[in-house]
Amino acid sequence: MQKKNMQDLERRLNQLSAGEGLALIADLFPEKVVFSTSLGQEDQVITQLIASQNLPIQIFSLDTGRLFPETLELLARTESKYKTRIKVFYPETTSVERLVSDMGINGFYESVENRKSCCYVRKVEPLKRALAGNEVWVTGLRAEQSPNRHAMKRIEWDEVNQILKYNPLLDWSFDEMIAYIDKYKIPYNPLHNKGFISIGCAPCTRAILPGEDARAGRWWWEDSKKECGLHVK
C-alpha cells in the first residue's frame, strides 16, 4: 500500500469506533483479514466485535504447548458463546524437540537468548504460517500496555511479516476495556482476577504486584523490553 493511501486509511480509521473500523477493514480486504487472539481481555473484546457483526475475519490462536489450563478452557468457552471456530496453530514438533534437546525443558530461564529462541519456535514461526497469504493482521494491542507500544499507530506496515497491522483498541484505556467486558458479559480468563494482567505461557507469567507495570509479570526474571518477538518495529 502506498504511503498516501496508508495515511488516508489511518485518518478514516481514527474517526471510527473499533467495531466500525473492523467492518471497514473486512470490506476493503475481503477474505484477507485475520485476527490473532491470545485470549487476553483485549482480544476477547475484539472477538466479540467480530462475532457480533458476523465479520468475515478469520480468528486464530497460537497454542505454544505451555499455556495455562485456564487459557485453553477459555478458548472452548469463547467458541461456544460466539458459535465460531478459532483456528489453532501449533509449533513444529521437530523444532520443539530440538529446542528442548539443546537447552532443556526450562532453558529459557538461563538467558534472554534462550528465551527468545523458545518464543521463536513456539510463537513466532507459527505466527508466520498463520499470517501467510493474508493482507491485514488485526491485534489487541493497546498503547498504555507498555512503553514499547506508545509509538504504534492505528494501522501500520509490519516489515518483518510483510503485512498491514491494524490495532483497533490502540487508544482504549484499561478501564474502558473492563467496562466493555462487563457490559457485554464477555468471557475472560479467571487468572485476571488473581493479578495476572498479561497472560502468556505458564512458566513465563506471574501475577503482578500493586503498582507494577501491566507487563511486569511477563518474563519477570529478566530485564528486557517484555516482548516475545511477535510485535517488533
Per-residue three-class SS string for 126-169: HHHHHHCCCCEEECCCCHHHCHHHCCCCCEEEECCCCEEEECCC
- Structurally, the chain folds into a number of domains equal to 1
**Is residue 66, in this structure, part of any structural domain at all?**
yes
**Is residue 37, in this structure, part of any structural domain at all?**
yes
**Is residue 220, in this structure, part of any structural domain at all?**
no
**Is residue 165, in this structure, part of any structural domain at all?**
yes
Residue ranges making up the domain that contains 8: 3-91+134-194
**Is residue 217, in this structure, part of any structural domain at all?**
no
pTM, two decimal places: 0.92
Residues in the chain: 233
* Among 3-7, 40-44, 83-87, 180-184, the least confident range: 3-7
**Is residue 22, in this structure, part of any structural domain at all?**
yes
Is 119 a residue of the active site?
Answer: no
* Residue 157: Cβ within 10 Å count: 13
Which CATH number fits the domain that encloses residue 53? 3.40.50.620
Which of 118, 119, 204, 228 is catalytic? The answer is 228
Angle of the 41-52 helix axis to the 18-28 helix axis, nearest 10 = 60
Tens digits of per-residue pLDDT, 194-212?
999 999 999 999 999 988 8
Kind and range of the H or E run holding 57: none
Q: How confident is the model at residue 227 (pLDDT cuts 50, 70, 90)?
A: low
* Residue 119: Cβ within 10 Å count: 21
Q: Which three cell numbers stand for residue 178?
A: 473492563
